[in-house]
Amino acid sequence: MTTQVIHLEVDDNITAVRARLEKAEASRVLLVVPARCQAFDSLLDFKLLQRYAESQALEVALVTNSSQRRVLARQLGFSVFVSAGWGQRRSKWRRPKATPRWGKRLSWGERIFGAFVFLVALSAVLAVALLIVPSAEITLVLANEAVDATVPVQADPELDMIDYGAGQIPARVVQVEIGGKAQIPVSGTKDAPDEPARGLVFFINNINQPVTVPEGTVIATSTGSTIRFTTVEEVIVQGTVGAVGEVEVVAVDPGPGGNVRANLINMIPGSLSLRVRVTNPEAMEGGSVKQVGMVTAADQERLKTVLLQQSQQAAYSQLSEQLEEGEFLASESVALDHIVTEEYDKPIEEQADILSLEMEVMFRGTAVKEEDANALIWAALEAVVPEGFALASQDLQYQRGEITDVEDGKVSFVMRGFGLVMARVDEKTIKEAIRGQPVDLAEEYLSQNLRLEEPPVIEVTPTWPGRVPWLGFRINISTQEE
C-alpha cells in the first residue's frame, strides 16, 4: 500500500493540517510533526484529526519525538513513529478508536439504563479478555548517533534536474534593467586663457581732415596668425596728414597669444583704412593663462566603475524581489550582463570641474532552490548512516556555507548537514522471535539483538502468565530516543 509522507511546518495548526490532508493523493498518510509545531499540543487536535480521517477514509499515523504528543496520540489509538522510514516500513498501523455516531435522542432513564448495561457487558468482556488474551507493552530506548556531511554544490541554470553524482542542482537566471546617474570631480588639469593682452596703438591720419575712430574699432596683425584687438574708447585724429591719435586696445581673445611684439598691429578692416593707418609702438602685454580642470579618460573609467557599483547594489535588491518561495540569490552571482546606454556630459580633454554620467545597464543573477541543495545533503547523510541505523528526518539541520565560485551564471558553494541516526527496529521480526517466550528470555533477546541505550522493559497484563503473548497483535512495541 502506498504511503504519502507530509512534512508539517512549525506554524501549521490543525486547520492547516486538515487542508494538507484534503490534498493527499494516498489513503495512507504519515504526518511528520516538527518539535515546535503549533498542531497536536492538545487532545482536541487529535480528536479533530480522528474525525476528519474517519470521514475521508484516511489511515493516518504520526512521526514525532515529543513524549506529550506520543501519549495523546496513543490515547486515541494513532500509531506514532520516530522516523518516516519506520512508519513507511510498517505494513499495518493502529486504527484510531471510532468516533461515536448518535441516533435519536434517548430519555434520561434510557440513557442511564443503557449506560449501566453497557458498562456491565464491557466489564465482563474485558475481564474475560484479560484472563484469556494477555497483552504486552514493550518499551525500547533506542541507541542514536550524530552524523554530519559536507558537500560541494554547483547550481547550474542549464540543468533541469539534480545530478547527485556530480553534486549539481538546477538554477534559474533572473534579470533586471537599472538606470542611474553619478558624478565625480575631474582629476586632469590644463592651461586655459585667463587675462587678455593690452597696450597702446597710434592711429596716423592720411588726409587733411579730422578722423574719428569709434570705441570698439577692430584692428589686427597682418602676419602669421591674425590677432585681433579692439579700442577701449573713441579717439579723434587731428585733420592734418601725419597727425597721430593715441588710444588703448585690448585683445579680443584672452591668453598669451595677444602679447604681440611692437609694430605688428597694422591692419584696419573696412573703409577706415583709407583715412588712417595704425601701428603699436610697443609690445602688447598682460595676456596670461591659468590652470583649469580637464576631463581625462581615467576620469570616465573611474566614474563608470562608481556608477556600476551603485547599480549592482540596486540590482541585487530588485532581483531579490523576483525570487520564488524557497529560493535564495547569491550576491556574488549578480553581475553586469550588458550596457544599454552610456552618456557622459563632457568629452575627454574638455575643461570641467565635474564630470557626470548617465547609464542604463542590464544585470543578471542566479536563483537557487534551497530544497534542491538540501536534497544533496540528505543523500550525503544517508550514505554515512551506520548499518542497523536509520536517519531521523525530523532532527536534520541544513547549513549553507560560503560561495566558492561564480562563473557563467554557475554558482558553487558548500552545504553542511547535521542529524541523528537511530537503531532500526523490525517489529514483525521481534514479535515473531519473542512471542510465547518467558519475559526474562524475551528481554535478553532484545538486549542482544537490538542497539539499545537502556535495557528493554516488557510489561505483561495480566502478570500471572509470565510470558509474552502468543498473538502478535497483543504485543505493542513503543520506541523512545535517548
Phi, psi of 145 (to 5 degrees): -135, 150
**What confidence score (pLDDT) does residue 263 get?**
94
Instruction: Say what the pLDDT of residue 390 is.
Output: 81
- CATH number for 173-188+293-368 (one of 3.30.1490, 1.10.10, 1.10.3910, 1.20.120): it is 3.30.1490
C-beta of residue 96 within 8 angstroms of C-beta of residue 77: yes
CATH code assigned to 195-287: 2.40.30
What is the tens place of the pLDDT at every residue in 191-208?
899 999 999 999 999 999
pLDDT of residue 74: 84
Where do the H-state alpha helices sit in 359-475? 370-383, 427-434, 439-449
DSSP string, 207-238: SSS-EEE-TT-EEEE-SSS--EEEESS-EEE-
Please state, in angstroms and rounded to a whole number, the distance separating the CA atoms of residues 386 and 196.
94
Q: What pLDDT was estimated at residue 237?
A: 95
Are 326 and 371 within 8 A, CB to CB? yes
Q: Is the pLDDT of residue 132 over 80?
A: no
CATH for 3-101, options being 3.30.70, 3.30.750, 3.40.30, 1.10.357 = 3.30.750
More confident residue, 68 or 243: 243
For the chain, the average pLDDT equals 88
Kindly tell me if the per-residue pLDDT of 84 is higher than 70. Answer: yes
Tell me the three cell numbers of residue 385: 548512516
Closest listed residue to residue 307, CA positions, set 348, 346, 342: 342
Q: Cell for 292?
A: 583649469
- Amino acid 189 reads T
Question: Residue 367 forms beta bridges with which residues?
Answer: 172, 329
What is the mean pLDDT of the segment spanning 198-225? 94
Here the cell at position 314 is 540596486
Q: Between 129 and 144, where is the model more confident?
A: 144
pTM of the model: 0.53
Domain borders along the chain are 3-101, 173-188+293-368, 195-287
| pLDDT at position 124 | 60
Give mean pLDDT, residues 217-227: 92
Residue with cell 553534486: 167
Whether pLDDT at 129 is above 60: no
The pLDDT tens digits for 268-287 are: 989 999 999 999 999 999 99
Within 10 Å of residue 237's Cβ, how many Cβ atoms? 24
Q: What is the pLDDT of residues 362-392, one digit of tens each?
A: 999 999 999 999 999 989 888 888 887 888 7
Question: Cis ω on the peptide bond leading into residue 462 (within 30° of 0)?
Answer: yes
Task: Render pLDDT for 225-263 as a digit per residue (tens, 0 to 9).
Answer: 899 999 999 999 999 999 999 999 999 999 999 999 999
What is the Rg, in whole angstroms, of the alpha carbon atoms belonging to the chain? 49
Q: Which amino acid is at 73?
A: A
DSSP 309: H
Q: What is the pLDDT of residues 296-345, one digit of tens each?
A: 999 999 999 999 999 999 999 999 999 999 999 988 999 999 999 999 99
Tens of pLDDT, residue by residue over 93-124, are 877 765 554 444 555 655 676 667 677 667 66
DSSP state of 79: -
Residue with cell 518467558: 438
Pick from 323, 301, 332: nearest CA to 176: 323
Q: Where are the beta strands (DSSP E) in 234-353?
A: 235-237, 244-251, 265-267, 276-279, 289-294, 327-329, 335-344
| DSSP class of 23 | T
Which strands sit side by side in the sheet containing 135-142, from one edge to the other?
A: 457-461, 135-142, 475-481
Termini Cα distance of the chain: 31
